[in-house]
Structure 1
Amino acid sequence: MAPLIPSSQPWVEKYRPKQVKDVAHQDEVVRVLTNTLETANCPHMLFYGPPGTGKTTTALAIAHQLFGPELYKSRVLELNASDDRGINVVRTKIKDFAAVAVGSGSRQGGYPCPPYKIIILDEADSMTEDAQNALRRTMETYSKVTRFFFICNYISRIIEPLASRCAKFRFKPLSAEVMSSRILHICNEEGLNLDQEALSTLSSISEGDLCRAITYLQSSARLYGSSISSKELISVSGVIPQNAVEALFVACKTGDFDFANKEVNNVIAEGYPISQMLSGLFEVIISSDDLSDVQKARICKRLGREADKVSTL
C-alpha cells in the first residue's frame, strides 16, 4: 500500500495516539480523563513521569477532543517551557493569550468546545522559579477562561503554589511488553523486519522511552533498509556497546595499570560519552558474581563521585 502520509513525517507524530483512550499502559489516567472529557469541565492539570510515557500525547489528545481541528489553533497554545521559560514569556505571550475571552460553550462538529482556552506547557520543570511565581498570578486571574496543562518529568521542580492548583496525574514507566507491542505494530505498518534480539536491544537502549525507541527505529530504517539488526540499532543510538563496557571492567579487575590505561584510551578514541560509560560500569558491577557486596558498595561510591564531577562539567 502507498503511504497515506509523506515518508518524511516523523514516526513519533505519525503514530501518536489521537484520542485519550488509545494511550498505552496508563489505565487509571485514561479512565479519569475519559470521564472528565464527557463533562468537558477540565481543571488545571499536571502530568508528570518519565520521558516517553504519553504525557504530551495525552495533553494534545484532550485538546483535540475538546475543540476539534477548526478551533484548535485559536483555543490552544503549545509552549515548550525549556525554550520559553523566562518570566518575560509569562508576562507577554502566556498572559496575552490567557486574557482573551472566548464565546460561550456550544458544540461544533461533534466537539464539546467548552468556553475556555488551554495552555500546554511542556517541560514545565525547566521554568525558572520567578517564571513559575509569575504564572501563579496569571492562573488565578484568568481561571474562568483559561486552563493550564503542565507537563514535566520531575514534579519536585514545580513550586507548590502551582502544583496545588492542579489535578495531578502520574504516568508510569512503560513495560518492555507494552513497548515491544507498539514497536511491532509500527514495524508491521512500515514493512520492517525486526528479530527478537533487535527488539530486546531497542527496548534496552531506549530505557522505557517510547518516543526515543520510535526515533531510533525510524533512523535505522532510513540508514539500513527494512531489515534491522541489533548492532545497527546500537550504532544509530550512539549507546556504548556492552562489550566495550565489559572490556573496561575486565581490564580494571586485573589490577594492571597499562592494560586498564589501554582500554581507557580505546574509550576516548571511540568518543564514548563518559556519563554513559559510568552508567554501564555501574550495571556490570552490580550484576557481577566475582565481587562481594562490600566491594560493590565501595566501587559504586567512587563511581558516584566521578558521576557528580561529570555532571558539573
Structure 2
Amino acid sequence: MEDTAFMEIDEQFSLPNLNRGKEKIVNDAPDKKNAPWVEKYRPQSLADVAAHKDIIETIDRLTSENRLPHLLLYGPPGTGKTSTVLAMARKLYGSQYQNMILELNASDDRGIDVVRMQIQDFASTQSFSFSGKSNVKLVLLDEADAMTKDAQFSLRRIIEKYTKSTRFALICNYVHKIIPALQSRCTRFRFAPLDAANVTQRLRHIINAEQLDVTEGGLSAIVRLSSGDMRKALNILQSTQMASPQITEEAVYLCTGNPMPKDIERISFWLLNESFSNAYLYISEMKTAKGLALVDIIREIPMFIFNIKMPETIRVQLINALADIEYRLAFGTNEKLQLGSLISAFTHTRAALVAAAK
C-alpha cells in the first residue's frame, strides 16, 4: 500500500449538491443565467470558499504537494463540503476534470452492488493525465452516511486495493454512521455551521452581483433564518427576490412562512402574563390570521427566553418542555392539544418564578 500520511483533523471552525437533495454536476460550465444561485455561485476554486480557512489551506497544501489522502468531510448541510471537494478536483485535473472524477450520491446508490460494480470498475481502470496534472483518480461519494453497512465494508476493501491509483472523498452529515474501518482510512475534516460574518459576506457579494435591493433588516433576517447553512441562505435570498422587488425583513419572513420576531415577542408576552384561556385565544387567533405553524413558533420562542432573567434551572426545564412539544408535533399530534401543553409549560414556569422570588 502506498505510504500516505494520514491525519485526524476535527476542526471547530465556522462556509456554501449531487442527486437527491443535491443537483448532480454534469456540466462544469452550466447556463448560469437561469441556474439556481446555489449552483451559479458555487465556488470554482479553493480560494473562493468563504470559510473554514484552516481546512481549505490544509487540503490546498496536500493537493499542491501531491500527497492527497482519502478524505472524510462531515458536518451539517450547506457548510461547503461538496464545494470544497469539487474545487479541489478542478485544481487537480484542470480540463480533464470530467474524466478523472466519479460522482455518486449514496442516498440513491447505497447498496453493495454499486460498490462492487460502478466504484470498482472506475477505480480499476488505468488513468492517464494529458494536462501534466495528477493521474490519480477521485471517487466522490456524497451522503455516504446513507450507505448500508455491507456496502461500507466492501468499500473499505476497494480503498485498500486501489490506493495507488484512486483517492476517495466521502461526504456525510453524521460521521457516527460511517463504520470505524472506513474512518480510520481517511483524513477527517469537520465542517461546522458557518458563522454570521461569513454568510453575510458571501450574501453581500451575490447581492452586488445581482444588483438586488436588500435592506439591512432583510439581510439580517436571511442570515438568522439560514442558521449557518449557506445553501439555505441562497435559496431564501433567491425566492424572496422573486416574490418582492425589495427584500425587507417582512418580505423574508412572509416568503419563508416563519413568524416575525415581533409576533414571537407578543406570543411570549401572552404566555408569561395572560391567563390560560386568554393566551390560548390570542395565540390561536394569530396563528389563523398569519398562517403560522405551532412548530415554527416553538422553535423561535427560546430566543426570547434567553433574554428573560430567571434561574438557570427553570430556564432549562422550560427549554426541555419546548423540545418535548416539538418532538410530539413531529409525529403528527394535534396542534390544539400541543398549544395547551405550551401554555401549561409557561404556567408552571410562572409559578416557579414566583416561588423563587419568595
Structure 1-normalised TM-score?
A: 0.86
In the alignment, what sits opposite 1:221?
241
Is the Cα contact below 8 Å between 1:275 and 1:307 reproduced in 2? yes
Q: Distance in 1 between matches of 2:277 and 2:114?
A: 55
Q: Distance in 2 between matches of 1:312 and 1:95?
A: 41
Q: Distance in 1 between matches of 2:137 and 2:330?
A: 39
In the alignment, what sits opposite 1:93?
118
Instruction: Letter of the 1:89 partner, please give it.
Output: V
- The aligned runs of 1:46-61 (5 Å cut-off) are 46-61=72-87
Q: Distance in 1 between matches of 2:287 and 2:73?
A: 39
- The aligned runs of 1:1-313 (5 Å cut-off) are 6-69=32-95, 71-103=96-128, 106-108=129-131, 112=133, 114-225=134-245, 227-254=246-273, 256-262=275-281, 263-264=283-284, 266-267=286-287, 272-289=292-309, 291-311=310-330
Q: Distance in 1 between matches of 2:227 and 2:318?
A: 24
Report the alpha carbon displacement of residue 183 of structure 1 after superposing the two structures with TM.
0.9
Instruction: Letter of the 1:286 partner, please give it.
Output: F
Is the Cα contact below 8 Å between 1:248 and 1:264 reproduced in 2? no
Count of matched residue pairs: 302
Flag structure 2 segments of 5+ consecutive residues without an equivalent: 1-29, 333-358
User: Structure 1 residues 96 and 293 mapped into 2: Cα distance closer, same or farther (>3 Å)?
Assistant: same
User: Structure 1 residues 272 and 121 mapped into 2: Cα distance closer, same or farther (>3 Å)?
Assistant: farther
User: Structure 1 residues 94 and 187 mapped into 2: Cα distance closer, same or farther (>3 Å)?
Assistant: same
List per-residue Cα deviations over 1:73-117 (Å, max 9, x = no partner): 2221112222332333323332332232323xx451xx51x2322
Instruction: Letter of the 1:73 partner, please give it.
Output: Q
Is the Cα contact below 8 Å between 2:74 and 2:172 reproduced in 1? yes
Q: Distance in 2 between matches of 1:260 and 1:241?
A: 18
Q: Distance in 2 between matches of 1:268 and 1:141?
A: 61
Q: Distance in 1 between matches of 2:139 and 2:171?
A: 11
Report the alpha carbon displacement of residue 270 of structure 1 after superposing the two structures with TM.
5.3
Is the Cα contact below 8 Å between 1:52 and 1:210 reproduced in 2? yes
Q: Distance in 1 between matches of 2:33 and 2:255?
A: 19
Instruction: Letter of the 2:48 partner, please give it.
Output: D
Runs of 4+ in 1 over 6 A off after TM superposition: none
Q: Distance in 1 between matches of 2:143 and 2:291?
A: 29
Flag structure 1 segments of 5+ consecutive residues without an equivalent: none
Counterpart of 2:306 in 1: which secondary structure? helix
Q: Distance in 1 between matches of 2:53 and 2:232?
A: 22
Counterpart of 1:297 in 2: which secondary structure? helix
Quote the sequence identity (%).
36
Report the alpha carbon displacement of residue 266 of structure 1 after superposing the two structures with TM.
4.4
Q: Distance in 1 between matches of 2:331 and 2:68?
A: 41
Instruction: Letter of the 1:198 partner, please give it.
Output: G
Counterpart of 2:155 in 1: which secondary structure? helix
In the alignment, what sits opposite 2:353?
none
User: Structure 1 residues 240 and 135 mapped into 2: Cα distance closer, same or farther (>3 Å)?
Assistant: farther
Counterpart of 1:148 in 2: which secondary structure? strand
User: Structure 1 residues 38 and 232 mapped into 2: Cα distance closer, same or farther (>3 Å)?
Assistant: same
Is the Cα contact below 8 Å between 1:25 and 1:172 reproduced in 2? no
Q: Distance in 2 between matches of 1:75 and 1:295?
A: 57
User: Structure 1 residues 92 and 301 mapped into 2: Cα distance closer, same or farther (>3 Å)?
Assistant: same
Counterpart of 1:33 in 2: which secondary structure? helix
Instruction: Letter of the 2:253 partner, please give it.
Output: I
Instruction: Letter of the 1:217 partner, please give it.
Output: L
Root-mean-square deviation (Å) = 2.4
Report the alpha carbon displacement of residue 246 of structure 1 after superposing the two structures with TM.
3.1
Q: Distance in 2 between matches of 1:162 and 1:265?
A: 53
Is the Cα contact below 8 Å between 2:32 and 2:40 reproduced in 1? no
